[in-house]
Structure 1
C-alpha cells in the first residue's frame, strides 16, 4: 500500500550567547525575506544539498552576522520539528548553542537586514522572535545555565585576573538571579582547581580591596555548583 511522505527540508538555527554590560545577551537578526519579514529571529537557514548541519551552521552564522563559527564551540541541541513550525512547509531545525566571551559587534549580510546583540530577558519576555525561535532560545539558555553548574566556563568571561564579585556577576547574568556573596565565595574557593588566588588585591576606591583570582586548571566541576544550593 502506497504511503504519503512529507517533503522535508532541513534547517539550522543558532543561539549565540554572551555576557555584555552585566546581562546575558543573544545574537539576533532582522529578517529581510518572507515569512516574518522585518521580524527578529535567530541566525540560521536551510542546508545546501552537500552540507552537514554543523557546516551549514558555520556558513549561515558568517553570512548573516559576520561572526566566525569556527572560533566557537557549537553544541548541537535537540531538534525542533513541529509540523506547523514554518509556514513554508515541513521544516525540521537542528539548533546549535554557543556561549562565549568578548564576541564582536555583528555585521548583517545575506537575507538579514540587521544583526545585533539583544538582552535575553527582553527577547523572551516579549516573545518577539519569528517561527519557534523563542522556544529554541529558551532551551539554549537553560543548557547554558546548566553548563555553569558543571563546568568552569564562567571564568572565561572574566579577565586574566578577576575578583570574586566579577565571577559572581557572570553567574548572576546567566542564571538571572542574585546570589549571596559569602555563600558564592565559599562554594567557589572550596572547589579545588576552580580558581587560584593571585596574591594581590584590587581596589576601586570604595570599600575594602578585593582579592584577585585567576582561572584554575580544572574545566569540569566536581561536585557541581547547583543553582538550587546557592541560596543556602
Structure 2
C-alpha cells in the first residue's frame, strides 16, 4: 500500500478492480510475482504498472495467508508499505479500472476487496509507529522543507496537533534527523523560515513518542481532513 500527504491529508492509493473477483470494488494495488523476480522487484514493478508511481520509500510489511482470503483459491500476499511526498495523480493499468488517492478516513469506511482492510489497518499502524522511532517522516516532505512542513506530516498521520516550539526542539536536537541547507523561504507574512533536508540517520534518537513530551496541545478534537 502507498501513503502520501496530499491536500493537507493523509491519503492511501486505492484502485477500482477492473475484473472479477470483486469487480468494481476498491482494493489495494498489487499483482503476482513473475518468474525470475524477487519480492522487492515484483513490488516495484506492480507499483509502476498499476499506478505510474515510482521512486518511493518501500519496506515489507508482512505476509497475509488466511485460507478464505481469495475466492479463487488459496493465496498468500506479501504486503509492502510505500511512502512518498505529495505524489502525482496515479495512472491505472493491468487489472485496475481506476486509481485514486483516497483520504484515510474515507478509505477506512469502505468495504475493500479480499482482506485488504486488514492490510490497510496494519499498514497504517506501522506508518504511525515508524514516525516515533525512525526518520521516515521526512520521506513525506519534498526537499528542501521547513520544520513546520515536517510537523504537518506528524500532525496529519498521527491525527492531532503538536506544539510548534517543542516539536522544533525535538527535531533539531535529534541526531542527524535533519540538516540545515543554509537557505530560507520567505512567506507572504512573517519571518523567513530556515530550510532543511533529510539527514543521514535512519533511526530517530531520541525517539518521538506520540504521548509525553512531544508537545501535544490541549485541543478539544483531533486534526481531520
> What TM-score, normalized by structure 1, do the two folds share?
0.81
Q: Distance in 1 between matches of 2:38 and 2:60?
A: 12
Correspondence for 1:81 among 43, 59, 65: 65
Shift of 1:197: 4.5
Q: Does 1:195 align with 2:171?
A: no
Structure 2 equivalent of residue 120 of structure 1 = 104
Shift of 1:81: 1.1
Q: Distance in 2 between matches of 1:150 and 1:210?
A: 29
Q: Distance in 2 between matches of 1:45 and 1:55?
A: 12
SS in 2 for 1:162: coil
Q: Does 1:105 align with 2:58?
A: no
Structure 2 matches for 1:84-163, cutoff 5 A? 84-124=68-108, 126-163=109-146
Q: Deviations over 1:12-60 (max 9, x none)?
A: xxx0111111211111110011111101100112334554333332332
Correspondence for 1:37 among 4, 23, 36: 23
Structure 2 matches for 1:18-29, cutoff 5 A? 18-29=4-15
Q: Distance in 1 between matches of 2:37 and 2:164?
A: 48
Q: Distance in 1 between matches of 2:33 and 2:135?
A: 33
Shift of 1:189: 2.2
Structure 1 equivalent of residue 193 of structure 2 = 211
SS in 1 for 2:132: helix
Q: Deviations over 1:74-116 (max 9, x none)?
A: 2111211111111122111110111122432211111111112
Q: Does 1:224 align with 2:207?
A: yes
Residue pair 1:163, 1:212 contacting (<8 A) in 2 also: yes
Give ranges in structure 2 of 5+ residues lacking alignment.
217-225
> What TM-score, normalized by structure 2, do the two folds share?
0.84
Structure 2 matches for 1:49-68, cutoff 5 A? 49-68=35-54
Residue pair 2:2, 2:13 contacting (<8 A) in 1 also: yes
Structure 2 equivalent of residue 180 of structure 1 = 163
SS in 2 for 1:154: helix
Give ranges in structure 1 of 5+ residues lacking alignment.
1-14
Root-mean-square deviation (CA, aligned residues, Å) is 2.2
